[in-house]
């Protein structure tokens, strides 16, 4: 038997080992060689940890803390590890299953002996005969005991001759990779969310400070207007107008501070800390005035291979392809091998010998689908449709990503130009306010005009903060569009 089955088993093993699903993701999107809007980019090309280029140690520390302690990130990592374990379980189904088992039992019999009263020809009374031979059956009561022991080895294997099990394992493998990419994407989103909340918080704090300067200026203007009103040189309308502007500015400051606190609590949650009592360390410099340049050297193909969402969808496509291969393999025969080897011992009692037995069984089977009422055909159609939908989604994501990057680059340079022009306007307004103050001191201008010139400069300062904030936030969006903000884990 061994000579007959050994070549067959060897051939099946080789066929199963060579079978593997070959998944190629072919996009219909023609990827361009360059982006259109990044020719003027001069920033650092490495964007895997882009916040380290920003000269703000507080921001760096917050993002590093968030990547270590964020609860949602921990959940995503747990999902990734669970998916990996599931993939490993599916892969283990490719090999044979074997087990060792044993069992034992003890039997005891104690009962009335009817043999002692029998009379047999040639023997006579059975009781006398059995007692003379020393048999325990000669007693008035029969007492017997014994035990049984069995031990065996079993093995089963379904050779993956046509690669269906390999396709199932590949499907789970690619799905586990997609969970890994979702974890990468969660890192990318977390770093950008922390930065966005941090920038908004700093902007609100700065706007509140500018507002406090405006309140001081408005109070001075209020005193001047009231004085002119009492002197009959201004109307009640003029007084109420200044009062309304002062109240509005004070209300705006309260809103800025409340918004800053909201962003601060958001940062606490994102970094895995209690929002109650949490405070962000004071800034060592005005980060909105020290933004790095847009990253240079970025290519469309690099972006596609780096973005976690696109990488996720690519693995989904590969999983759908493996699922289709598995569905097609349902049309082919399936083989199975089962082996049983068992030994047993039966002891009757201490005065008798025991019985031994050894048995073995090798069973091979083959199943061929003949009539399935269209189940296999429809399952293949379903798997193929899912694959085509996944490919279409993959292509759509690539197109969207290409547009997002160029949009972010173009917006970044436009916001940079806007910020520079706003800075020039604010600088001119400050110069005008200084000139107006000199004219007032020399009696060539009234105080209210001088104060209004100062208010104009402060209003432009507020607008400049908003412009810098938009530039900073767009820069973060650019990093995200390029797929920056995560790194490959050393254990992957």
pLDDT band at 23 (very low <50, low <70, confident <90, very high): low
Taking the model in full, what pTM does it have? 0.82
Answer whether 286's CB lies under 8 Å from 56's CB. no
Residue 470 has pLDDT above 50, yes or no: yes
Where is average pLDDT lowest: 30-44, 75-89, 127-141, 311-325?
Answer: 127-141
Average pLDDT estimate for 290-300:
96
pLDDT band at 271 (very low <50, low <70, confident <90, very high): very high
* pLDDT given for residue 144 in this prediction: 53
Average pLDDT estimate for 346-365:
62
Residue 119 has pLDDT above 60, yes or no: no
Q: Give pLDDT tens digits for 139-179.
A: 555 555 556 666 777 776 677 677 777 888 888 899 999 99
Give the number of other CB atoms < 10 A from CB of residue 97.
Answer: 12
Q: What are phi and psi of 6, to 5 degrees?
A: -60, -45
Answer whether 480's CB lies under 8 Å from 192's CB. yes
| Residues in contact with 125: Cβ distance below 8 Å, sequence separation at least 6, in sequence order | 118, 119
pLDDT band at 7 (very low <50, low <70, confident <90, very high): very low
Where is average pLDDT lowest: 259-263, 353-357, 396-400, 438-442?
Answer: 353-357
Q: Give pLDDT tens digits for 315-333.
A: 999 999 988 988 888 888 8
Answer whether 454's CB lies under 8 Å from 217's CB. yes
Residue 20 has pLDDT above 90, yes or no: no
Euclidean distance between CA atoms 228 and 336, whole angstroms? 104
Where is average pLDDT lowest: 169-173, 298-302, 362-366, 442-446?
Answer: 362-366
Residue 91 has pLDDT above 80, yes or no: no
Percentage of residues of the chain with pLDDT beyond 90:
60
Average pLDDT estimate for 416-433:
96
* pLDDT given for residue 93 in this prediction: 67
Residue 174 burial (10 A CB sphere; 0-12, 13-18, 19+) = buried
**Parallel/antiparallel/unpaired status of strands 354-367 and 97-112:** unpaired
Average pLDDT estimate for 482-489:
90
Residue 4 has pLDDT above 50, yes or no: no
Q: For all residues of the chain together, what is the average pLDDT?
A: 85
Q: Give Rg (Cα) of the chain.
A: 42
pLDDT band at 382 (very low <50, low <70, confident <90, very high): very high
Residue 225 has pLDDT above 80, yes or no: yes
* pLDDT given for residue 379 in this prediction: 86
Q: Give pLDDT tens digits for 388-411.
A: 999 999 999 999 999 999 999 999
Residue 78 has pLDDT above 80, yes or no: yes
50 vs 329: which has the higher pLDDT: 50
Does the domain at 27-92+147-332+372-482 match CATH 1.20.1600.10? Answer given as yes
pLDDT band at 334 (very low <50, low <70, confident <90, very high): confident
461 vs 152: which has the higher pLDDT: 461
């Amino acid at each position: 038997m061994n000579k007959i089955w050994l070549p067959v088993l060897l051939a099946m093993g080789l066929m199963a080992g060579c079978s593997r699903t070959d998944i190629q993701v072919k996009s219909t999107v023609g990827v361009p060689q360059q982006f259109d809007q990044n020719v003027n980019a001069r920033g650092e090309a490495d964007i895997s940890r882009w916040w380290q280029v920003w000269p703000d140690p507080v921001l760096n520390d917050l993002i590093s803390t968030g990547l270590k302690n964020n609860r949602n990130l921990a959940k995503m990592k747990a999902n990734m590890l669970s998916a990996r374990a599931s993939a490993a379980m599916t892969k283990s189904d490719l090999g044979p299953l074997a087990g060792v088992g044993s069992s034992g039992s003890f039997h005891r019999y104690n009962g009335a002996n009817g043999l002692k009263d029998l009379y047999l020809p040639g023997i006579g009374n059975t009781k006398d005969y059995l007692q003379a031979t020393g048999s325990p059956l000669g007693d008035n009561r029969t007492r017997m005991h014994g035990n049984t022991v069995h031990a065996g080895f079993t093995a089963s294997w379904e050779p993956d001759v046509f690669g269906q099990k390999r396709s199932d394992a590949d499907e789970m493998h690619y799905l586990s990779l997609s969970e890994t990419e979702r974890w990468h994407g969660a890192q990318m989103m977390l770093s950008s969310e922390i930065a966005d909340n941090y920038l908004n918080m700093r902007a609100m704090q700065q706007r509140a400070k500018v507002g406090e300067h405006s309140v001081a200026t408005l109070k001075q203007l209020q005193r001047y207007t009231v004085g002119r009103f009492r002197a009959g040189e201004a109307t009640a309308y003029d007084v109420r107008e200044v009062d309304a502007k002062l109240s509005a500015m004070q209300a705006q400051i309260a809103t800025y501070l409340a918004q800053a606190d909201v962003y601060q609590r958001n940062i606490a949650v994102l970094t895995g800390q209690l929002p109650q009592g949490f405070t962000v360390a004071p800034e060592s410099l005005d980060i909105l005035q020290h933004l790095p340049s847009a990253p240079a050297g970025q290519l469309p193909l690099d972006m596609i291979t780096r973005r976690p969402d696109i990488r996720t969808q690519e693995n989904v496509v590969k999983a759908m392809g493996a699922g289709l291969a598995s569905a097609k393999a349902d049309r082919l025969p399936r083989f199975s091998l089962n082996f049983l080897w068992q030994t047993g011992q039966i002891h009757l009692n201490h005065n008798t010998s025991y019985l031994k037995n050894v048995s073995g069984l090798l069973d091979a089977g083959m199943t061929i689908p003949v009539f399935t009422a269209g189940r296999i055909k429809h399952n293949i159609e379903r798997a193929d449709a899912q694959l085509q939908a996944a490919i279409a989604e993959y292509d759509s994501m690539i197109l969207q990503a290409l547009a997002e990057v160029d949009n972010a680059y173009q917006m970044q340079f436009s916001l940079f130009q806007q910020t520079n022009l706003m800075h020039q306007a604010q600088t001119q307004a400050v110069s005008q306010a200084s000139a107006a103050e000199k004219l007032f001191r020399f009696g060539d201008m009234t105080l209210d005009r001088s104060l209004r010139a100062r208010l104009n400069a402060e209003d432009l300062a507020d607008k400049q903060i908003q412009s810098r904030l938009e530039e900073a936030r767009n820069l973060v969006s650019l990093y995200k569009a390029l797929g920056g903000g995560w790194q490959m884990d050393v254990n992957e």
